[in-house]
Chains A and B, each alone.
Chain A
Amino acid sequence: MFDILKMSISALLAHKMRTVLTTLGITIGVFTVGAITAIIEGLNSSFESQISMMGSDVFYISKGSWFGGYESWINARKRKPVDVDLADYISENAINVSATSPMVNRHRTLKYKDKSIESVEVTGVNHLMPMIEGTEIDAGRFFSESECRHRKNVVVIGENIRKEFFPDTNPVGEKIYISGHRFMVIGLFEKKGKMLFNDMDNRVQVPYLTFSKLFQRRNRGANIAVKSTSTAMLDDSKEEVRNLVRHYRHLKPSDEDDFAINQMNTLVDMYNRMTALLWAVAIGIGSISLVVGGIGVMNIMLVSVTERTREIGIRKSVGATRQKILFQFLFESMAVCSIGVISGLLLATGAAYIIHTFTPLAAKVPANWGILGAGVVVLVGLIFGMWPANRAARLDPIDALRFG
Chain B
Amino acid sequence: MEVKSEKKVGENPEKTEEKNNMTGQNTLIKFDHISRIYQMGAETIRALDDISLTIHVNDYISIMGPSGSGKSTLMNIIGCLDTPTSGVYQFEDEIVCDMNSEKIIKMNDNQLASIRNKKIGFVFQTFNLLPRATAFQNVELPLIYAGIPRHERREKVLKALKDVSLADRSTHTPSELSGGQRQRVAIARALVNSPSIILADEPTGNLDSETSREIMVFLDELHRLNNTVIIVTHEPDIAAHAHRMIHILDGKIDRDEINHQKIKNPVNV
Q: Which residues of A pack against B, CB within 8 Å?
A: 3-4, 10-11, 14, 310-311, 313-324, 397-398, 401
Tell whether, in the assembled complex, residue B130 and residue A319 are in contact, meaning their CB atoms are under 8 Å apart: no
Assuming the contacts A321-B110, A397-B81, A398-B76, asked whether A316 and B116 have C-beta atoms less than 8 A apart, the reply is yes
Tell whether, in the assembled complex, residue A319 and residue B128 are in contact, meaning their CB atoms are under 8 Å apart: no
Chain A residues within 8 Å of B128, by CB: 310, 313-314, 317, 401
Assuming the contacts A3-B144, A397-B81, asked whether A319 and B118 have C-beta atoms less than 8 A apart, the reply is yes
- How far apart sit A322 and B112, CA to CA, in the bound complex (Å)? 11
A109 to B: closest C-beta gap in Å: 75
11 A-B pairs besides A4-B144, A320-B117 with CB distance below 8 A are A10-B133, A314-B128, A314-B130, A315-B141, A316-B113, A316-B116, A319-B113, A319-B114, A321-B109, A401-B124, A401-B128
- How far apart sit A4 and B145, CA to CA, in the bound complex (Å)? 9
Q: Verify if B82 is at the interface (C-beta below 8 Å from A).
A: yes
B132 closest partner in A (C-beta): A14
Tell whether, in the assembled complex, residue A318 and residue B141 are in contact, meaning their CB atoms are under 8 Å apart: yes
Interface of A is mostly: helix
Tell whether, in the assembled complex, residue B116 and residue A318 are in contact, meaning their CB atoms are under 8 Å apart: yes
Chain B residues within 8 Å of A316, by CB: 81, 113, 116
Q: Verify if B70 is at the interface (C-beta below 8 Å from A).
A: no
Tell whether, in the assembled complex, residue B110 and residue A319 are in contact, meaning their CB atoms are under 8 Å apart: no
Tally of B interface residues using CB under 8 Å? 25
Q: Verify if B142 is at the interface (C-beta below 8 Å from A).
A: yes
Assuming the contacts A3-B144, A310-B128, A398-B82, asked whether A318 and B189 have C-beta atoms less than 8 A apart, the reply is yes
Q: Verify if B53 is at the interface (C-beta below 8 Å from A).
A: no
- How far apart sit A327 and B168, CA to CA, in the bound complex (Å)? 33
Assuming the contacts A397-B81, A398-B81, A398-B82, asked whether A10 and B141 have C-beta atoms less than 8 A apart, the reply is no
B150 to A: closest C-beta gap in Å: 8
- How far apart sit A324 and B116, CA to CA, in the bound complex (Å)? 14
Name which of B118, B141, B142 has the most chain A CB atoms within 10 A of its CB. Answer: B141
- How far apart sit A401 and B145, CA to CA, in the bound complex (Å)? 18
Q: Which of A10, A14, A313, A319 is in CB contact (< 8 Å) with B145? A: A319
10 closest residue pairs by CB, A with B: A319-B117, A318-B142, A321-B113, A319-B145, A3-B144, A319-B116, A314-B128, A397-B81, A321-B110, A320-B145
Q: Verify if B146 is at the interface (C-beta below 8 Å from A).
A: yes
Tell whether, in the assembled complex, residue B130 and residue A311 are in contact, meaning their CB atoms are under 8 Å apart: yes
- How far apart sit A265 and B22, CA to CA, in the bound complex (Å)? 99
A323 closest partner in B (C-beta): B110
- How far apart sit A388 and B79, CA to CA, in the bound complex (Å)? 27
Q: Verify if B122 is at the interface (C-beta below 8 Å from A).
A: yes
Tell whether, in the assembled complex, residue A10 and residue B132 are in contact, meaning their CB atoms are under 8 Å apart: yes
A314 closest partner in B (C-beta): B128
B151 to A: closest C-beta gap in Å: 13
Tell whether, in the assembled complex, residue B141 and residue A322 are in contact, meaning their CB atoms are under 8 Å apart: no
- How far apart sit A314 and B117, CA to CA, in the bound complex (Å)? 11
Chain A residues within 8 Å of B76, by CB: 398
- How far apart sit A319 and B109, CA to CA, in the bound complex (Å)? 10
Chain A residues within 8 Å of B141, by CB: 314-315, 318
- How far apart sit A398 and B76, CA to CA, in the bound complex (Å)? 8
Tell whether, in the assembled complex, residue A320 and residue B113 are in contact, meaning their CB atoms are under 8 Å apart: yes
- CB proximity to A under 8 Å, residues B140-160: 141-142, 144-146
Tell whether, in the assembled complex, residue A322 and residue B116 are in contact, meaning their CB atoms are under 8 Å apart: no
A112 to B: closest C-beta gap in Å: 76
